[in-house]
């Protein structure tokens, strides 16, 4: 990427983000009142994410998703809001109960606890940032990122359509998954002209989750404790594979935490006046809907949070709160399920039967790893002792028993009487996350009796732990009989736990120490800027400091981009040698069509998403897609795809064969010219139509 291309992409991103920020800020001002507090910042961020998704979905509905279309739609929305929605004049802020009298003002967090929160939050962010930086030297390497998150985002860019089903390797019907996260990766990647923003997007979810944790405890005298709890949960090793990847677990966690934070800030007992009812309820449900539209395991907790939002209001107000709750849920999470309904006749194509009723959908094997849930092993002491308990140690660190106990304590104490409705709703949401983890079909996947996927499945548990730990502070603070020092003791306890959770699996090399120190400094500066933005008298200073930071970030980013361009999939070490060679080859291919039998196809799209990539398969009714059954079907699929290249490979080196059968089939046809072969991978140039008459099954 040249300097001109880099600057053009960076400016496009900044313009897009600026338009989103303006629009969200103006709308939040009308929805809930004007103010610079952390709750307003959280609400603005949540609404901006929703707008970012829809400003890509709208042109993508008609196959016109492109950088120009994204900027045009975002600009038109911003212009319309600027002209039609006047700035808010109400100065009441969430988290600022000044209108109800000084006697109702909650006691703020003490400075020592706030400093501890800053240290732990910065360290957690630094570790996450360091792991993100590792991907600059490799590109995204995670299995799910290269299997479906990345390819789906690249397909949105390449095709311009979000309504079409983008069939990839036929496992788990992934083309029917909800794709809120992938749309954001596609928008940022299209505007920038490369996928470097995808590496950094996780930092937004991480920082947003810490912000949500602070808001959850703010107003109930426990903001530092709540933020530290969130930092320990999402900074654990179980979530480390979110860093620098296109994974979506952290995004969904942010949406749930953000919705709970807005609920607690809007309806805290000490606030008799403030944000009203309909605006906050809409924002809570929007956050819940965004989670539902991000990942299937967030459907249950997202529905719980959205459908419970009207009950935050008093009895007489719940009826008029139901409409904004439904609107928020639909706006945040309905699109992908409506698309599935149109494309296959079933919003959830994985569900073939409901009671006595049969539902339409693809009639095919789901594929992928062996299913298995935690629930399947709860009556098996042998599996619980080994490997489940060692898996908790590996995924959550040496302090996992205390982490789990404190999270459950936070969820349980939220039901204390008299009921604090926002706390109860947050707790029920967290319990729904835990329930979804326990019964999830891949939470302990693997051969029967050997749940090798348990550690990976802990990413379904972590959001529930984050919610429970975030609620611990406000739940403790609401117990009148507990001394205020209880909050300080709990804060110190989490501080002691931090090294056993955040640094697990991280080497203590000099470069690691330097990187952690650098990221800690950056995050501390960002925290200071946000603090200054919260002061009306210092806002201009914050804007100036932020502008300088953006300029420095763009300059530093160019150096990072140059390094990333040089290293992206240049020598992959996360796959077999033959597949790695094909990934490296694809980085020099521009504007070609590549057919493949490889599950992890993302590197074939190239550094600028220039290539058309497709898994070689056969479409089935109701959105189905399967592998060809034999040579003739395979050859016909290659001819239909009009590919210029075919990459045939085993995803793993086989015990009984060096290459997949497709390589032998292609060897028979003179139109398939071998470029190179390295077990278990072969790359062919396709120079004309293949002849199915040459197949052994002809």
Confidence of residue 541 (pLDDT cuts 50, 70, 90): confident
Alpha-carbon gap, residue 541 to 547, rounded angstroms: 10
Q: Please compute the mean of the pLDDT values over residues 373-388 and round it to a whole number.
A: 92
Q: Please compute the mean of the pLDDT values over residues 556-574 and round it to a whole number.
A: 92
Q: Please compute the mean of the pLDDT values over residues 524-528 and round it to a whole number.
A: 70
Beta-carbon contacts of residue 2 (< 8 Å; ≥ 6 apart) = none
Q: Say yes or no to pLDDT of 303 above 60.
A: yes
Contact 457, 377 (CB under 8 A): no
Alpha-carbon gap, residue 392 to 686, rounded angstroms: 49
Contact 424, 411 (CB under 8 A): no
Q: Please compute the mean of the pLDDT values over residues 238-257 and round it to a whole number.
A: 96
Confidence of residue 317 (pLDDT cuts 50, 70, 90): confident
Q: Say yes or no to pLDDT of 331 above 70.
A: yes
Q: Around 671, how many Cα atoms within 13 Å sit in the side-chain half-sphere?
A: 16
Q: Please compute the mean of the pLDDT values over residues 218-245 and round it to a whole number.
A: 92
Q: Please compute the mean of the pLDDT values over residues 121-127 and round it to a whole number.
A: 87
pLDDT tens digit string along 418-473?
889 999 999 999 999 999 999 999 999 999 899 999 999 999 999 999 999 999 99
pLDDT score, position 32: 84
State whether residue 167 is helix, strand or coil: coil
Which range (216-230, 333-347, 364-378) has the least confidence? 364-378
Q: Say yes or no to pLDDT of 93 above 60.
A: no
Confidence of residue 485 (pLDDT cuts 50, 70, 90): confident
pLDDT score, position 544: 79
Q: Please compute the mean of the pLDDT values over residues 355-381 and round it to a whole number.
A: 87
Q: How far apart are the first and last CA of the chain?
A: 48
pLDDT tens digit string along 25-74?
999 988 887 655 889 999 999 999 999 999 999 999 999 999 999 999 99
State the chain's mean pLDDT as an integer: 89
Beta-carbon contacts of residue 154 (< 8 Å; ≥ 6 apart) = 186, 189, 602, 605, 609, 613
| pTM across the whole model | 0.94
Q: Please compute the mean of the pLDDT values over residues 144-159 and round it to a whole number.
A: 96
For residue 263, the surrounding DSSP H or E stretch is helix 249-266
pLDDT score, position 106: 45
Alpha-carbon gap, residue 608 to 17, rounded angstroms: 21
Residue 146 DSSP symbol:
I
For residue 676, the surrounding DSSP H or E stretch is strand 672-678
Confidence of residue 511 (pLDDT cuts 50, 70, 90): low
Beta-carbon contacts of residue 185 (< 8 Å; ≥ 6 apart) = 149, 150, 153, 195, 197, 198, 201, 246
Tokens representing 183? Answer: 């749309």
Residue-wise DSSP of 433-457:
HHHHHHH-TTTT-SSTT--TTHHHH
pLDDT score, position 465: 98
Contact 652, 600 (CB under 8 A): no
């Amino acid at each position: 990427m040249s300097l001109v291309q880099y600057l053009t992409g960076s400016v496009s991103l900044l313009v897009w983000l600026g338009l989103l920020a303006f629009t969200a800020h103006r709308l939040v001002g009308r929805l809930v009142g004007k103010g610079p507090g952390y709750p307003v910042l959280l609400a603005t961020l949540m609404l901006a994410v929703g707008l970012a998704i829809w400003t890509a979905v709208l042109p993508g509905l008609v196959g016109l998703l492109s950088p120009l279309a994204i900027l045009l739609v975002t600009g038109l929305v911003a212009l319309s809001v600027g002209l039609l929605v006047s700035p808010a004049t109400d100065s009441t802020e969430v988290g600022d109960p000044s209108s109800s009298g000084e006697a109702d003002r909650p006691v703020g967090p003490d400075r020592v606890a706030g400093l501890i929160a800053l240290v732990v939050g910065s360290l957690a962010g630094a570790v996450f940032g360091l792991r993100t930086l590792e991907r600059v030297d490799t590109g995204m390497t995670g299995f799910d990122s290269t299997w479906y998150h990345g390819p789906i985002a690249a397909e949105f860019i390449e095709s311009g359509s979000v309504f079409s089903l983008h069939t990839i390797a036929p496992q788990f019907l992934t083309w029917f998954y909800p794709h809120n996260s992938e749309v954001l990766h596609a928008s940022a990647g299209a505007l920038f002209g490369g996928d470097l923003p995808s590496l950094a997007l996780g930092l937004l979810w991480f920082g947003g989750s810490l912000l949500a944790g602070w808001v959850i405890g703010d107003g109930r005298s426990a903001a530092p404790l709540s933020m530290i709890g969130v930092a320990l949960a999402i900074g654990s090793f179980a979530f480390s594979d979110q860093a620098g990847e296109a994974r979506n677990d952290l995004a969904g966690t942010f949406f749930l935490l953000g919705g709970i934070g807005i609920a607690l800030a809007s309806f805290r007992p000490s606030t008799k006046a403030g944000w009203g009812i309909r605006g906050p309820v809409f924002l809570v449900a929007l956050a819940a809907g965004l989670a539902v539209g991000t990942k299937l395991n967030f459907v249950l907790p997202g529905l719980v949070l959205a459908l419970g939002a009207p009950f935050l209001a008093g009895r007489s107000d719940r009826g008029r709160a139901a409409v904004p709750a439904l609107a928020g849920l639909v706006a945040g999470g309905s699109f992908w399920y409506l698309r599935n309904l149109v494309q296959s006749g079933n919003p959830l194509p994985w569900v073939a039967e409901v009671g006595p009723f049969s539902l339409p959908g693809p009639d095919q094997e789901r594929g992928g790893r062996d299913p298995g849930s935690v629930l399947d092993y709860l009556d098996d002491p042998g599996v619980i002792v080994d490997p489940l308990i060692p898996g908790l140690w590996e995924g959550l660190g040496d302090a996992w028993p205390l982490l789990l106990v404190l999270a459950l304590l936070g969820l349980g104490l939220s039901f204390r009487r008299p009921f604090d409705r926002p706390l109860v709703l947050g707790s029920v949401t967290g319990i729904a996350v835990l329930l979804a983890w326990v019964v999830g079909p891949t939470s302990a996947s693997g051969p029967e009796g050997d749940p090798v996927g348990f550690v990976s499945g802990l990413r379904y548990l972590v959001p529930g732990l984050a919610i429970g730990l975030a609620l611990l502070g406000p739940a403790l603070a609401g117990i009148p009989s507990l001394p205020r020092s209880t909050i300080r003791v709990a804060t110190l306890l989490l501080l002691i736990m931090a090294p056993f959770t955040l640094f697990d699996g991280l080497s203590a090399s000099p470069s690691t120490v330097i990187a952690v120190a650098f990221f800690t400094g950056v995050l501390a500066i960002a925290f200071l800027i946000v603090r200054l933005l919260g002061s009306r008298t210092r806002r201009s200073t914050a804007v100036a400091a932020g502008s300088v930071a953006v300029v420095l970030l763009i300059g530093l980013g160019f150096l990072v981009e140059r390094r990333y361009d040089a290293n992206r999939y240049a020598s992959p070490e996360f796959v077999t040698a033959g597949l790695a060679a094909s990934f490296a080859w694809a980085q020099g291919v521009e504007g070609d069509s590549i057919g493949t039998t490889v599950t992890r196809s993302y590197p074939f799209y190239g550094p600028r998403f220039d290539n058309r990539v497709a898994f070689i398969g056969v479409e089935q009714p109701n959105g189905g897609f399967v592998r060809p059954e034999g040579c003739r079907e395979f050859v016909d699929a290659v001819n239909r795809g009009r590919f210029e290249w075919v990459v045939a490979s085993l995803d793993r080196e086989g015990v009984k064969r060096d290459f997949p059968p497709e390589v032998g089939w292609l060897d028979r046809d003179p139109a398939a010219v071998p470029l190179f072969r390295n077990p278990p991978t072969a790359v062919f140039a396709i120079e004309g139509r293949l002849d199915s008459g040459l197949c052994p099954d002809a």
